[in-house]
Amino acid sequence: MRIFIVSDSIGETGELVAKAALSQFEQVYHKAQIKRFTHIDSLEHIEEIVSLAKLHGALIIYTLVRDDMKQHINLLAEKVNVEIIDLMGPVIKSFEKIIGTQAMQEPGLVRRLDEDYFAKIEAVEFAVKYDDGRDPRGLLQADIVLVGVSRTSKTPLSQYLANKRWKVANVPLVPEVDPPEELFQIDPSKCFGLIINPEKLNSIRRERLKAIGLSDDANYAKIERIQEELKHFDRVVERIGCEVIDVTNRAVEETANIIISKRQEYLRKK
């Protein structure tokens, strides 16, 4: 028994279904010959495949999504008496009826959607792994590096960017701790310093201390301490040579859009 899998993508779905069905026929399962015809994008290809199927007595299973190609292969197969099965058509028609929208008829979308999903998962895992300066080696692998003093939204921003499929690492800057050397080895264009108004940061830190049950007059929230940290921040970002973004009155989404725009612009120019 011969089976031709005809697909405008890679034909994986058709082959899996064919094998699943064949498994119910033990006497032919290991004898059946399955051949994939992938990335079929022209009517001429279809004509050649139907001719081969007629010659070899093959069954055609197809997962084409374009109406013109489906109509063409059905007409040709009927004309030369080749058995043919449309795997996707009935499912798509039912979806169109339920959803009330026409299918896009664009090949290979499921693979692209899957790749997009896994790229997002990988970026989110990366952001978690290299959050808060946990492992400086991540700085060399990151698409974007964020630096800033405590409570400048580095972590929420990292997660937001990760959901846009950017691999992000962030480093907290504290006067008593030397920044990792990797920070000065990266391309400055992928690094962004996050600056904030001292009074605004003072308010944020005081609220944070109260939220965790501590006194809001701790050194962490004192304006003198904040100014010391911001001076240290200035020295570090000047040494890196990176761009600085004021996040004082910006939502995470707004800051992220600025960063994405600048990164995309830089990458286009490369």
Domain boundary among 57, 78, 107: 107
Q: What is the pLDDT of residues 148-179, one digit of tens each?
A: 999 999 999 999 999 999 999 999 999 999 99
d(Cα 99, Cα 94) in Å, to the nearest integer? Answer: 9
Q: What is the pLDDT of residues 187-233, one digit of tens each?
A: 999 999 999 999 999 999 999 999 999 998 899 999 999 999 999 99
Token pair 């939204």 is found at: 153
Judge whether 149 is annotated as a binding position: yes
Same domain membership, residue 125 and residue 249 = yes
Query: Which residues on neighbouring strands pair with residue 86, listed in sequence order?
Result: 62
Judge whether 153 is annotated as a binding position: yes
Judge whether 235 is annotated as a binding position: no
Domain boundary among 60, 85, 107: 107
pLDDT value of position 90: 92
pLDDT value of position 106: 82
Stretches in the chain below the pLDDT threshold 70: 110-114
d(Cα 262, Cα 167) in Å, to the nearest integer? Answer: 15
Q: Which domain holds residue 63?
A: 2-107
Domain boundary among 72, 88, 107: 107
In this structure, are strands 33-37 and 59-63 parallel, antiparallel, or unpaired? unpaired
Q: How many residues does the chain have?
A: 270
Judge whether 150 is annotated as a binding position: yes
Is 115 buried (19+), middle (13-18) or exposed (0-12) by CB count in 10 A? exposed
Token pair 């691999």 is found at: 167
CATH label of the domain that carries residue 94: 3.40.50
Judge whether 111 is annotated as a binding position: no
Domain count, the chain: 2
pLDDT value of position 193: 98
Selection from 30, 39, 31 nearest residue 7 by Cα: 39
Same domain membership, residue 78 and residue 16 = yes
Could you tell me the pTM of the whole model? 0.65
Listed in order, strand segments (DSSP E) in the chain are: 2-7, 33-37, 59-63, 84-86, 144-148, 168-172, 191-195, 243-246
Selection from 1, 29, 14 nearest residue 73 by Cα: 14
Judge whether 101 is annotated as a binding position: no
User: What single-letter amino acid sits at 19?
Assistant: K
Same domain membership, residue 233 and residue 145 = yes
Judge whether 203 is annotated as a binding position: no
pLDDT value of position 136: 95
What are the structure tokens assigned to 82, written together? 């080749």
pLDDT value of position 105: 86
pLDDT value of position 264: 94
Same domain membership, residue 259 and residue 125 = yes
Judge whether 94 is annotated as a binding position: no
